Amino acid sequence: MLYRTKLFSAPRLLLRECARFMSESSEAAAVPERKYIPRRSLMYVPGNDERKINKIPQLVASGADCICLDCEDGVAINKKEEARNSIRKILDEQSLDFGKSECTVRINGVGSGFEQIDMETILSGPNLPSSVHLPKVENLDHLEWFAAELNSVIASNAAQKIGLILFIETAEGLLNIKEICRRAQELSDDSFFVPEAIVFGSDDFAADIGATRTKLSTELFYARQAVVTAAKAFRMQAIDCVYIDYKDLEGLEKQSLEGAGFGFTGKQVIHPGQIGIVQQAFSPPEHRIQWATQLIKEFEEHQEAGAGAFVFRGQMIDMPTVKQAKNVLQLIAKDS
């Protein structure tokens, strides 16, 4: 307790030093690194909608990688409190079985007036969501606020860091995406989160720039590829736009494959019927699985032999590539 008081009254430079000290101390070493969590389909469930919450087992059975309990857009203004408290209860009681699905929470955006009470309610208890979604990130202030607030509400004995899933869904956010990603990574050194994914909030973005959404999404070409480029430069996941017409499964599959082809790693879904197609579209093809399996096998052999440099199929293999291959295998292990 003393520690936390001191930490947050100290000026910024001291804060950094404290954090660095912490991360070198044995206490911090006890915080395990987060393993790779695929988010091929990301399904929202309004926190106050009991009927939909009761259907979560179906979402889990459909294999949805990520189930997001929502405080934001899916919840009307006068239901915010109800949603927040209901999510707290779900986390506390742990009566819902999320199986292999990740359980996350989307809070309201910075400046909405709900963000602080959302953070305090959702993140102060003993049971935490795996990740938090922060919508409408537009500038560095939004991130600074989040990092400071998270550090003040999360118990310093958190079992592990929380994943941060950022939303880029305004023109300003897109214009600042490089600085936002870089700052998120810097802040994560001193905070209890790891920036893991960027979600492209297509419909809010289109509304913000005054664009009209079409099925081909030509109007979002620039934004979608800019989001992928920034996310990948910082080794984060990139999660693509919603396909609104949930009855058109053929159109959904086409757009999912297009997104995967652009380099997106997953897609938002708004209906349970969309989960299977989306999960499939963002799963690695057979040749990719073989590549990963063999690469990791040879990597481990070289490790055992104590060899440093490592050539695979004619290419020098660096650690990011090993990590990519490991991610593929973790993903496969999850599915089997």
Decide: 108 and 145 in contact? Cβ < 8 Å. Answer: no
Nearest CB to its own copies, comparing residues 49 and 160:
49
Q: Does 26 bind its own copies (CB under 8 A)?
A: no
Only one residue has tokens 């690469």, namely 295
For 275, counting Cβ atoms within 10 Å of its Cβ (0-12 exposed, 13-18 middle, 19+ buried), the class is: buried
Q: Does 214 bind its own copies (CB under 8 A)?
A: yes
Interface pick for its own copies out of 1, 13, 77, 333 (rule CB under 8 A): 77
Task: Tell me, residue by residue from 234 to 263, as one string, x for binding to its own copies by CB under 8 A and - for no binding.
Answer: ------------------------x-xxxx
Handedness of CA 206, 272, 324, 104 (dihedral sign): positive
Interaction residues for its own copies, span 34-63 (CB under 8 A):
none
Candidates 50-58, 183-191, 216-224, 267-275: pick the segment binding its own copies (CB under 8 A): 216-224
Q: Does 159 bind its own copies (CB under 8 A)?
A: no
* Distance (Å, whole) CA 108 – CA 76: 11
For 123-135, b/e burial (b = at least 16 CB within 10 A) is beeeebbbbbbbb
Task: Tell me, residue by residue from 263 to 282, as one string, x for binding to its own copies by CB under 8 A and - for no binding.
Answer: x-x-----------------
Interface pick for its own copies out of 230, 252, 269, 295 (rule CB under 8 A): 230
Only one residue has tokens 């995967």, namely 260
Q: Does 178 bind its own copies (CB under 8 A)?
A: yes
Beta strands in the chain (DSSP E): 41-46, 66-70, 102-106, 131-134, 162-168, 193-200, 237-240, 266-269, 311-312, 315-316
What is the total count of residues that contact its own copies (CB under 8 A)?
A: 41
318 catalytically annotated: yes
Nearest CB to its own copies, comparing residues 192 and 312:
312
Q: Which residues contact 262 (CB under 8 A, 6 or more apart)?
A: 224, 225, 228, 240
Closest distance of CB 133 from its own copies, Å = 18
The residues facing 170 across adjacent strands are: none
Q: Does 305 bind its own copies (CB under 8 A)?
A: no
* Distance (Å, whole) CA 152 – CA 150: 5
* Distance (Å, whole) CA 207 – CA 220: 11
Interface pick for its own copies out of 148, 153, 171, 244 (rule CB under 8 A): 171
| Residue tagged active-site, from 92, 141, 245, 318 | 318
Interface positions with its own copies (CB under 8 A): 76-78, 112-113, 170-172, 174-175, 178, 206, 208-212, 214, 218-219, 221-223, 225-226, 228-230, 232-233, 258, 260-263, 265, 309, 311, 314-316
Q: Which residues are catalytic?
A: 318
